[in-house]
Structure 1
Amino acid sequence: MHRFIALLGLALLIAAPVSAQVNIGFGGVAYDSRQPVEVTADSLSVDQSTGEAVFSGNVIVVQGDMRMAAGSVRIVYATDGTQDVREVIATGGVLVTRGSDAAEGGSARFDVASALLTLTGDVLVTQGPTAIAGDRMVVNMTTGNGSVDGRVRTVLGGGE
């Protein structure tokens, strides 16, 4: 019976439309934006006129239990004089880990105010033995809730 349900779920998944959406959780604990951010990179360039800093080459960004690795990371600061980080934009193959969960994609955008992380481009999310692939992942880092959009692929079931 379990095998039938798993096969039925897989058949439904294969027949899913291109805009299918699967809800995911990510990280399991609430994101704390008050924690310090540590950035390591091969180089840094700062543009005072635009309020942006670009870290290039083997970039690693760590905040609490969240870690992001990418080829390049652009930090966009608020323009109100507070120097608060408004947005983090990563490109060049992005890997985000939080706890035992991991997500990878071609690029990522993290909106600090809303705590929304968006990964695009051949996204793969792994959570323990489960893997979900799609075109785009959006996750609220405060709640851990998110979704994978596009041609979503996963394997359901297992066991007897």
Structure 2
Amino acid sequence: MSAMKSSFLLFALLAAAVSGPVAAQTSALKGLDTGAPIDVDAARIEIQDADNQAVFSGDVIITQGRMTLKADSVKVLYTRSTGTPEMQRLDARGNVRLVSPSETATGNTGIYDVNGKIVTLVGNVTLDRGGSSLKGQRLVLNLVSGQTSFDGRTGGTAATPGASPGRVTGRFVVPQRGTKP
């Protein structure tokens, strides 16, 4: 077999082996009922009604359907167009953790745009899904389509020893298939 055919075959086999984890960049949160109630549990709340915001602190746990957001503190921004407060955005800070039935994402800060149905995590972000993991600087998750995207680190050190800063790094678990002797 020629070197070119051999290289192509190796590439095709490698692509097939990792296509499951790589292609599966659709979040388990796809189609989340973003109209479901948002439950908040925290040690403390400070309502700043004049600024249309409330600050929850102390091991904050926010749940909406099958999504759970945990952080040291969360600022909830709201409007009062109908007289009743309507959540617009949640800004999470410190030990941010986004959990779904099959994935966990962590970062330094997080923003949940309630109307846009987008969750963004920033700063030392890690996404673990099915034994595979990605690391980078920013993760954007669309709750309607389930699409996730990652941006690399903007400076400093790489997420993985030996990797270049400014890159997204990952480790993908290759599913074991039956072997024939």
Question: Which runs of structure 1 show a deviation greater than 2 angstroms over 4 or more consecutive aligned residues?
Answer: 79-82, 155-160
Aligned to 1:133: 135
RMSD over aligned Cα, in angstroms? 2.4
Q: For 2:72 and 2:25, how far apart are their aligned partners in 1?
A: 26
- Shift, 1:101, TM fit: 1.1
- Residue identity over aligned pairs, in percent, reads 30
Comparing 29-38 with 115-124, greater Cα deviation is found at: 29-38
Q: TM-score, normalised by structure 1?
A: 0.82
Residue 143 of structure 1: SS of its match in structure 2? coil
Distance 2:87 2:172 in 1: 39
Structure 1 distance, partners of 2:124, 2:109, is 9
What is the distance in 2 between the residues matched to 1:40 and 1:82? Answer: 20
Q: Which has the higher contact order (CA 8 A, sep 6+)?
A: 1
Greater C-alpha radius of gyration: 2
Q: Give the 3-state SS of the residue equivalent to 1:24 in structure 2.
A: coil
Gaps (5+ residues) in structure 2? 1-9, 153-166
Aligned counterpart, 1:5: 14
As a proportion of its length, which structure holds more helix? 2
User: 2:62 matched to 1:61?
Assistant: yes
1:62-120 CA distance string (max 9 Å, x none): 11100011000010002524411000100011000112111000000011111011000
Q: Is 1:103–1:126's contact at 8 Å kept on the other side of the alignment? A: yes
Q: Larger % of strand: which?
A: 1
- Check whether the contact 2:29–2:66 (CA below 8 A) recurs between aligned residues: no
Instruction: Work out which of the residue numbers 125, 145, 152 in structure 1 matches 2:168.
Output: 152
Aligned equivalents of 1:123 and 1:24: distance in 2?
Answer: 16
1:111 matched to 2:120: no
CA distance in 2, matches of 1:110, 1:99: 18
How is 1:43-62 mapped onto 2 (pairs within 5 angstroms)? 43-62=44-63
Equivalenced residues, count: 146
Change beyond 3 A, Cα 1:26–1:83? same
User: Aligned partners of 1:107 and 1:126: how far apart in 2?
Assistant: 17
